[in-house]
Amino acid sequence: MRYSIIGTGGIGGYYGGRLAQAGNDVHFLLHSDYEYVKEHGLTVDSVNGDFYLPAPQVYREADELPLSDVVLVCLKTTNNHLIPELLKTAADAHTVVILIQNGIGVEEDVQGMLPGIQLVAGLAFICTAKAGPGHINHQCYGQINLGNYSCKDGALLSRIADDFTNAGIPAHIVEYKEARWKKAVWNMPFNGMTVALNTQTDLLLKNPATRQLIREQMMEIVGAARALGVNGVDEDFVEKMIAMTDKMTPYSPSMKLDYDFQRPMEIRYIYSRPLAIARAAGAPMHKLEMLEAELKFLGEYIK
């Protein structure tokens, strides 16, 4: 199958690179790194084995991308208004578009912009970042869960999961709402808390006070998910996420990196949308509402 990668940063570079390394037909959209990768290739340093693509198929403009069977959208949600233009040549009604993005409500809004597109949520459990031009640093984990939002072709989705798995990326097809809320259990506490306290994931859990606060925030998400009738988001999953993060390499989540580099933070989908949905369901998340207010202040006033 033919894959296109829109957003060749830490996640798009790693997943797209692995797929290409395994022999898949992969096309990368780049902007600032285009000349460098065109000349020098793509380097991935990974805990699962370093690799190098000497001549990846790269493009500077979205309208140069070929029509693809699968498009991985790895943009920050702050750029989602660009998606219709970016998909103009790469996707049609038969293409599966996988939104590897954080937050709740992403697929609903993209579907509104592109009613005929088949959408799948890509929930990445991975620590990876761009280390420099054409250089990806994959620190740990790497699994991706695929939650079907509007894909009509179940067989094609299964083939995609197989392609990921065969490329060394554990992939599972999961229930959409459960997947999105499970990802929120990790994203909502750790993205915002690392920004608000100017720290990394490991220190938040080493300190007893912030470890307890993280757990309480996670349990607010469990309560919201229960109120919405979402299965599988429970206290056992909270303990699993905390244990997983205990073992993780000290990490700055995407929102912390965005803040450090003075880029817009993804507050709308990681916080505002799920908080509004939870309030409407009668399960407000008060601690996370406070964190959202702090992030809005930091995003607007602190540079």
What's the CATH number where 55 sits? 3.40.50.720
Claim to verify: residue 29 and residue 95 sit in the same structural domain: yes
Claim to verify: residue 210 and residue 89 sit in the same structural domain: no
> Could you give the percent of the chain with pLDDT greater than 70?
99
List, for residues 127-151, the tens digit of each pLDDT value.
999 999 999 999 999 999 999 999 9
Look at strands 25-29 and 57-59 and give their pairing: parallel
Q: How confident is the model at residue 301 (pLDDT cuts 50, 70, 90)?
A: confident
Q: Residue 187 pLDDT more than 90? A: yes
Q: What is the mean pLDDT of residues 57-68?
A: 97
Q: Residue 303 pLDDT more than 90? A: no
Claim to verify: residue 99 and residue 187 sit in the same structural domain: no
Claim to verify: residue 231 and residue 164 sit in the same structural domain: no
Q: How many domains does the chain have?
A: 2
Give burial (CB, 10 Å; 0-12/13-18/19+) of 279. Answer: middle
Tokens (6 digits) for 44: 């991935």
> Is 303 a catalytic site residue?
no
Claim to verify: residue 142 and residue 220 sit in the same structural domain: no
Q: What is the mean pLDDT of residues 211-225?
A: 98
Q: Quote the domain boundaries for residue 240.
A: 178-301
Claim to verify: residue 235 and residue 142 sit in the same structural domain: no
Q: What is the mean pLDDT of residues 278-301?
A: 97
List, for residues 91-107, the tens digit of each pLDDT value.
999 999 999 999 999 99
pLDDT for 1:
95
Claim to verify: residue 189 and residue 210 sit in the same structural domain: yes
pLDDT for 57:
98
Which of 130, 177, 182, 183 is an active site residue?
183
